[in-house]
Structure 1
Amino acid sequence: MKSGECNLFFALIINLCLVISQTNADAVKTWMPNTNYWDPMNWDVKRMPCRNDLVIFPSSLSASIALHPGATSVKGIVLPTTGELLLSNGDLILTGLQNASGCIGEDVEFTGGEARYWLDPGNWNGPSGEPLKGGQNSPIPHSERIPCETDQVIFLNGGTFQVQLPDVPVKVGAVNIEGKDVSLEQLHELVLDDTGFHLFKGDASQLEITNELCQDPRGCICNADLHPLTWQRICSFESVRCALPMCENPIKPKGFCCPICGAAIYISFKGSWPRMKQMIESMIDYNQEKGTYPVLYHISRVGKNELQVVLRDPNIYTSASVALALVLQKQFETVSFETTPYTRTTYSGDPVTSWGTTSAIISKILLAAVLVLGVAFAINHLSNKTGRTVPAEFIQPSFLFARFENTAAEGEVEITQQAFHNPMFDIRARSVNSLEGITFKELEDQENLSEEISSQSTERTFSLEE
Structure 2
Amino acid sequence: MQALILSIVLTVASSAKVTWLPNSNFNSPKNFKDGKLPCSKQTVIFPERVQGAVRFQSDNLAKELILPITGEMLLEGALYLGGVDSKEECVEENKYFIDKTVTSWAYPDVWASPRFNEATPDAERVPCSDDSVEFPSNSEFSLFLPELTQHIQELKIGNQYYDTVTFKDRALEENTAQQFYHNNHQTTGVVVEENKCRSQANRGCPCQEFTLEINCESKYCAVPACSQPIKPIGHCCKVCGGAVSFEREQSFHYMEFKEFVDKIVASYKDSSIVYHVGIIPPNTVQVVIVEKGEYTGLSTVIANDIDGQLSRHWYLGVEALKVSGAPLSSSGSGFKIALSMLSAVILVFGGVYAYYYKLPSPREFLPSLPAFGRGSSAGLLSRFDRRTESIVSLTRRDSTATVASGAGFATAFRNPLYDSKRGRVNVMDSDVDDDKKQ
TM-score normalised by length of structure 1: 0.50
Distance 2:19 2:157 in 1: 11
Distance 2:315 2:193 in 1: 35
Q: Say which of 245, 256, 262 aligns to 1:275.
A: 256
For 1:235, the equivalent position in structure 2 comes to 216
CA contact (8 A) 1:247 1:357 kept: no
Task: Give the alignment partner of residue 364 of structure 1, picking from 339, 345, 358.
Answer: 339
The residue matched to 1:215 in structure 2 has which SS?
coil
Per the alignment, residue 427 of structure 2 pairs with: none
Distance in 1 (alpha carbons) for counterparts of 2:284 and 2:269: 24
Aligned partners of 1:123 and 1:377: how far apart in 2?
62
Unaligned runs of 5+ in 2: 1-8, 39-50, 59-71, 78-84, 86-97, 358-384, 389-438
- Is residue 27–residue 127 contact of structure 1 (8 Å, CA) maintained in 2? yes
Aligned to 1:264: 243
Q: Distance in 1 between matches of 2:29 and 2:266?
A: 37
Counterpart of 2:134, as a letter, is: I
The code of the aligned residue for 2:120 comes to I
Q: Tell me the distance in 2 between the aligned counterparts of 1:27 and 1:35.
A: 25
Number of the residue aligned with 1:409? none
Give the structure 2 partner of residue 219 of structure 1.
202
In the TM superposition, what are the counterparts of 1:235-254 in structure 2 within 5 Å? 235-238=216-219, 241-254=220-233
Equivalent in the alignment of 1:208: 190
**2:145·2:180 contact (CA, 8 Å) conserved in 1?**
no
- 1:7-156 equivalent positions in 2, closer than 5 A: 25-34=14-23, 114-127=101-114, 133=117, 138-156=118-136
Q: Alignment partner for residue 350 of structure 1, among 297, 316, 326?
A: 326
Q: Is this contact kept in 2: 1:246–1:351, CA < 8 A?
A: yes
Once the two structures are TM-superposed, the CA of residue 304 in structure 1 deviates from its matched residue by: 5.3
Task: Give SS of 2:14's match.
Answer: coil
| CA gap 1:201/1:304 in 2 versus in 1, 3 angstroms | closer
1:312 to 2:294 alignment: no
Change in CA separation of 1:212 and 1:143 when aligned onto 2, cut-off 3 Å: farther
Deviations 1:295-315 (A, max 9, x none): 332221224554211122323
User: Structure 2 counterpart of 1:193, which letter?
Assistant: E
What's the CA shift string for 1:95-117, capped at 9, x where partnerless? xxxxxxx9xxxxxxxx9994444
Change in CA separation of 1:139 and 1:362 when aligned onto 2, cut-off 3 Å: same
- Closer/same/farther in 2, CA of residues 168 and 237 from structure 1, 3 Å limit: farther
**Contact persistence 2:245–2:286 (CA under 8 A):** yes
| Contact persistence 1:118–1:164 (CA under 8 A) | yes
Instruction: Return the alpha-carbon distance in structure 2 between the equivalents of residues 30 and 243 of structure 1.
Output: 24
Aligned residue in 2 for 1:427 = none
Structure 1: segments with no counterpart, 5+ residues = 1-20, 48-60, 69-81, 85-91, 95-101, 103-110, 383-388, 393-466
Structure 1 residues 176, 376: closer, same or farther in 2, change over 3 A?
Answer: same
Equivalent runs, 1:158-173 vs 2, <5 Å: 158-166=137-145, 168-173=147-152
Deviates more, 1:159-168 or 1:365-374: 365-374
With over 3 angstroms needed to count, the CA separation of the structure-2 counterparts of 1:266 and 1:189, relative to structure 1, is same
Aligned AA (1:340): W
The percentage of counterpart residues that share the same residue type is: 21
Alpha-carbon distance in structure 2 between the residues aligned to 1:380 and 1:64: 66
* 1:322 to 2:311 alignment: no
Q: CA deviation at 1:283?
A: 1.9
Contact 2:273 2:290 in 1 (8 A): yes
Q: 2:170 aligns with which of 190, 197, 211?
A: 190
Mapped partners of 2:150, 2:336: distance in 1:
49
- Does the 8 A contact of 1:311 with 1:321 survive in 2? yes
d(CA) in 2 for partners of 1:116 and 1:179?
A: 22
- Give the whole-Å Cα distance in 2 for the aligned partners of 1:161 and 1:272: 42
**Corresponding residue for 1:456?**
none
Using the TM superposition, give the Cα deviation of residue 346 of structure 1 relative to its aligned residue in structure 2, in angstroms: 0.9
Instruction: Determine the C-alpha separation between the residues in 2 that align with 1:325 and 1:127.
Output: 23
1:142 Cα deviation from its structure 2 partner: 0.7
Give yes or no for contact 2:147–2:183 (8 Å, CA) kept in 1. no
Q: CA deviation at 1:201?
A: 3.3
Bigger helix share: 1
- Distance in 2 separating the partners of 1:264 and 1:329: 9
Per-residue CA distance 1:11-60 (angstroms, 9 max, x = gap): xxxxxxxxxx75552243211234679868789x969xxxxxxxxxxxxx
The total of aligned residue pairs comes to: 297
Check whether the contact 1:164–1:202 (CA below 8 A) recurs between aligned residues: yes
Q: Give the whole-Å Cα distance in 1 for the aligned partners of 2:254 and 2:268.
A: 21
